[in-house]
Amino acid sequence: MKDSKITELLARAASGDPEAAAAFTRARALRLHAAECLSTSGRAAAMRMLRRTA
């Protein structure tokens, strides 16, 4: 989801739209989960590289 869509959802949620608030929460949770997965896989790749060179 693009930042502009998340911003739009946040604005609608701030104006009292409960569906937009729920959609914003889900979108934010998905982005945080994706970032955590990327970070975790990056750490795992770094550890594999270190083990190979040691």
Q: How far, rounded to the nearest angstrom, does the alpha carbon of residue 33 sit from its chain's CA centroid?
A: 5
The structure's pTM equals: 0.63
Q: Model confidence over 19-54: pLDDT tens digits? A: 999 998 998 899 899 999 889 898 888 888 989 886
- The whole-number pLDDT of residue 38 equals 86
CA distance 48 to 42: 10
Residue 47 is part of which domain span?
A: 3-53
| Structure confidence by residue, pLDDT tens digits, 6-19 | 888 889 999 999 99
Residues in the chain: 54
Over 80: is that where the pLDDT of 1 sits? no
Residues 6+ apart with CB under 8 A from 13: 20, 21, 24
Domain count, the chain: 1
Q: Given this model, what pLDDT does residue 2 score?
A: 62
Confidence at residue 4, expressed as pLDDT on a 0 to 100 scale:
85
